Amino acid sequence: MSTDGRVLKGEQTRQAILGRAADIASAEGLEGLSIGRLATELRISKSGVFTHFGSKEELQLATVAKAVDVYREHVIEPALAVPRGFGRVRALLDAWRRYQRQPVFPGGCFFDSTMAEFDARPGRVRDAIASSQRDWRDFLERCLRQAREHGEIDAATDVAQLAFELDAVCRGGSTQARLHDDPSFYDRAAHAMSTRLDAVTTAR
């Protein structure tokens, strides 16, 4: 096998490990990950997994980064395909609800799970999760601000507060839906988000 072929195979193996790791973490948390478990489930050697990550913490950090990539693919990129303004806000929130409801990860939103797991545990993993959520919130606020600049949202709207409320409602609905195995909570969250947006939009 050529050097390029070995590099490609190595990257494919790494992505397979991270894909499975993100699935496990969404349901059982990042502490549910272990090099031995991933090696067994993916039928590769422990040394093969260890070569890619070196420690459990590095594996956890790489798994968070993988989840960010998945989130970007399913939520951010569809919104970016829509022109700036209220249409992009709607596209973003629709994509986010689909990501929550499908769900993309077997345990639901990866970040809902890991935020609860690490919110009171200082360290590099918590910092990585917090950074991902700051980036998400900043993007949501930016989309809302652009809609306000286009005159599609009332100029007096507190964009940071609106973003916080939309985020809280969507996460709350998703958590309740999974906890009670009741998809109607997704619909309630969608209704609440739409009502909140209707209250600030200038389109009548």
In whole angstroms, give the CA distance from residue 79 to residue 36.
38
Chain segment 72-121, per-residue pLDDT in tens: 999 999 999 999 999 999 999 999 999 999 889 999 999 999 999 999 99
Percent of the chain surpassing pLDDT 70: 95
Q: Is the pTM of this model over 0.85?
A: yes
In a domain, 90, yes or no: yes
Cα-based distances in Å from 13 to 10, 134, 146: 5, 30, 40
Q: C-alpha distances in angstroms, 197 versus 87, 142, 181?
A: 12, 15, 27
CA angle, 12 then 118 then 74, to 5° = 45
Percent of the chain with pLDDT over 90: 82
CATH of the domain at 147: 1.10.357.10
Average pLDDT estimate for 25-45: 92
Task: Name the residue among 21, 111, 8 with its Cα closest to residue 63.
Answer: 21
Please tell me the predicted confidence (pLDDT) of residue 204. 54
- Output the pLDDT for position 177: 95
Q: Do the domain assignments include residue 204? A: no
Position 161 in a domain: yes
Count the domains in the chain. 1
Alpha-carbon distance 63 to 57, whole Å? Answer: 10
Cα(164)–Cα(138) distance, integer angstroms = 11
Question: Is residue 173, in this structure, part of any structural domain at all?
Answer: yes
Gap between the Cα atoms of 147 and 66, Å rounded:
30
Q: What is the pLDDT of residues 125-174, one digit of tens each?
A: 999 999 999 999 999 999 999 999 999 999 999 999 999 999 999 999 99
| Distance separating alpha carbons of residues 103 and 87, to the nearest angstrom | 24
User: What residue numbers bound the domain in which 88 lies?
Assistant: 3-198
**Can you tell me the distance from the alpha carbon of 116 to that of 26, in angstroms, rounded to the nearest whole number?**
11
203 lies in a domain? no
